[in-house]
Structure 1
């Protein structure tokens, strides 16, 4: 006679195998239904690990990539996103055009501001002159907003979706109420437009996780690259590019009634750098994705957007965080675009802002390990 423990083990094994068999026969749509849903809203300046990490994650469904201007212009960013998805075989993910310009801020207004208060270290698509103190990174490739230069990864053959980013976001959030994360790693113009068009947008989403803002970053790494990036925040610790490109949009987003907000400011990025070794470790695979990233990626940059993606994928990477109320200075003075923040006990009376989990530090070795693992995986096939 079989002993009770043996019978139990055999029964559990049978149930487990049956579960695997049933899962294998489920349609791809049913399996995808259990995945974490995300819309990536970004100023994609090339094949970036930040977006690719989400696509590479087996338990994530990227509903779409919405494009905004910022580091480079929207039309160029669209081309980068389309070509990246072509190379990795994921053109099923829609690339959706968003805002070409900020809500109020302009290049001319930025020039006037600089005449009053001094030069900005970085102006993204508005960088119409070289850095006055030099740089070890590539010099700016300035061009008009409707020009798409030749891309290092090749020009795309596919087309962007025939929809506006804000409308796409609204549609998907209502299609999957309470399930969609907005992962915003560029200026927040598209998200602000979605909120303005649909007052229920923010509360219908699951959460927003964003890279933006700056509190009090300090240089951590001893490299020359780290020293050069410190030239900005060492004198202007509350200034960060994503907020500064479109301060009014950021203010709209942070006043909205989100269920959850996670902020990844510049601060934790100072402990990270895309070194030649890390890039090599991330691209050891022979997959089209790894080989493309190895070919076109410039090293020496902090991993700003990758951190935002990583802490969304694995919140256990966060080693230090605070609960703060966060806003933006939108007065056209010396602090225009600066990050404002308060703990609850010190927040101004009548402040309209949602409480925010602010990431201060991350487990960098674990973060790099996650990047290396995901970037070397075969790219998951599209659901059929």
Structure 2
């Protein structure tokens, strides 16, 4: 029986068409895959809400560490924060209570030798000079005061933060970004427990350190925060609270590191007008922000937003970065080198954010706060 032969080019066209369809499907799946991230902080604030509410983002967990407040209080804030965001499915994982070596007593000894620190976080008992910023109540590590936005119902994870982060980077090798907006203690513990930890992560983005900040805002509120670096421009709280941890982390073999120092935050402020714009939306996060105190620079918000949208960066550079862990007048200060000048003792190259587009930054904050949160049903838990 004779059959009509197909046109000569049909056998060649069919694989090409199928290949194109397969590539298109693969590209679509890749675009739909959410960016995986772990948030590590010494509290919970607008910065974390921005990431939770962002599209195409999967927050694997929120880790907590002592810094501005003790870890247990930071954990309570994070638990309440994910509740307000409508995301009680996100694990809140408690981390380190104390720095690796630094302590309240050691900090007081350092101050007796080298002068008073502007901010000591959980160890802060009084201001050295008058300030418009309220003094948080001083208490021990096991005390958790009632939270202004209500106490959480959700319970923290039973897992330790360092173990959680190690488990996540092994589960999703090369896919997990870590945004650090507190002291580096949890990250240092993870790296010491598992030397493969940093290399398995996709990247580290951190708010910490300062290089040569210049106060650009002239209003009195912003000037309050210039005191921390006006005489000691290399000192910043997140690094100074646990310098040994910072040095361990900054020498770890990360694939990619983005540093957000205090420098670009000098152009920013959470003004009453910005709070009004953020609070105008009819979302639980917007409602919560209406009571937030004004006047703070947008330190952590810059870190989370440049991770979400790197095009917000208008000026950057590349430097090798480390932290001074020698107990002396420069304890906790940032060390930096232009490529080629570093000592070669494990320092890693950082992309250093120097300046951001502030109007766009504020606009993106407003858009994310107003964004309705999609339902959580069907989301896989870590």
TM-score (norm 1): 0.90
1:236-315 equivalent positions in 2, closer than 5 A: 236-295=232-291, 297-315=292-310
SS at match of 1:344: coil
Residue number among 91, 96, 104 corresponding to 2:93 in the alignment: 96
Q: CA deviation at 1:31?
A: 9.8
Could you tell me how far apart the structure 1 residues matched to 2:372 and 2:276 are? 17
Q: CA deviation at 1:380?
A: 2.8
1:337 paired with 2:332, answer yes
Matched residue, 1:77: 74
The Cα of 1:377 is off from its aligned counterpart by 1.0
- Is 1:169 the counterpart of 2:165 in the alignment? yes
Task: Give the SS at the match of 1:101.
Answer: coil
* Residue ranges of structure 2 left out of the alignment (5+ in a row): 1-23
Residue 356 of structure 2 is aligned to residue 362 of structure 1: yes
**1:113 offset after TM fit, Å?**
0.2
SS at match of 1:99: coil
Matches of 2:375 and 2:336 in 1, distance apart? Answer: 42
| Deviation at residue 86 of structure 1 after TM alignment | 1.6
SS in 2 for 1:345: coil
Query: Following superposition, which runs of at least 4 residues in structure 1 exceed 2 angstroms of deviation?
Result: 30-33
- Output one character per residue of 1:8-36: Cα deviation in whole Å (capped at 9) or x when no partner: xxxxxxxxxxx99xx9xxxxxx9997000
Correspondence 1:32-111 to 2 at 5 A? 34-44=33-43, 46=44, 48-111=45-108
Question: Given that residues 58 and 380 in structure 1 are in contact (C-alpha distance below 8 angstroms), is that contact kept between their aligned partners in structure 2?
Answer: no
Q: Secondary structure at the match of 2:317?
A: strand
Distance 1:178 1:280, change over 3 A: same
Q: Which residue of 1 aligns with 2:215?
A: 219
Equivalent-residue separation in structure 1 for 2:374 and 2:295 (angstroms): 29
1:321, 1:360 within 8 Å by CA — same for their partners in 2?
Answer: yes
Correspondence 1:160 to 2:156: yes
Question: Across the two proteins, how many residue pairs are aligned to each other?
Answer: 355
Q: Given the superposition, is the C-alpha separation of residues 286 and 60 from structure 1 closer, same or farther in structure 2, using an over 3 Å criterion?
A: same
| Contact in 1 for aligned 2:51/2:308 (Cα 8 Å) | yes
Instruction: Output the CA distance in 2 between the equivalents of 1:311 and 1:177.
Output: 22
Per the alignment, do residues 275 and 132 of structure 1 end up closer, same or farther by CA in structure 2, a change over 3 Å counting?
Answer: same
Which entry has the higher C-alpha Rg, 1 or 2? 2
- Output the CA distance in 1 between the equivalents of 2:346 and 2:174: 22
CA distance in structure 2 between the partners assigned to 1:255 and 1:84 by the alignment: 32
Cross-structure match for 1:3: none
Does the aligned pair in 1 maintain the 2:41–2:181 contact within 8 Å? yes
Q: Secondary structure at the match of 1:258?
A: coil
Counterpart-to-counterpart distance in 2, 1:291 and 1:120: 35
Aligned-partner SS, 1:147 = coil
1:354, distance to aligned residue in structure 2 (A):
1.1
Deviation of 1:87 (Å): 2.2
1:11 maps to which residue?
Answer: none
Q: Deviations over 1:68-105 (max 9, x none)?
A: 00001110111111112122221100000000010000
Contact 1:55 1:380 in 2 (8 A): no
**Aligned counterpart, 1:118:** 115
Task: Note the C-alpha offset of 1:140.
Answer: 2.6
Is contact 1:32–1:61 with CA below 8 Å preserved after alignment? no
User: Are 2:325 and 2:331, in contact at CA under 8 Å, matched by a contact in 1?
Assistant: yes
Cα distance in structure 1, aligned partners of 2:377 and 2:121 = 36
Structure 1 residues not aligned, in runs of 5+: 1-18, 24-29
Aligned to 2:17: none
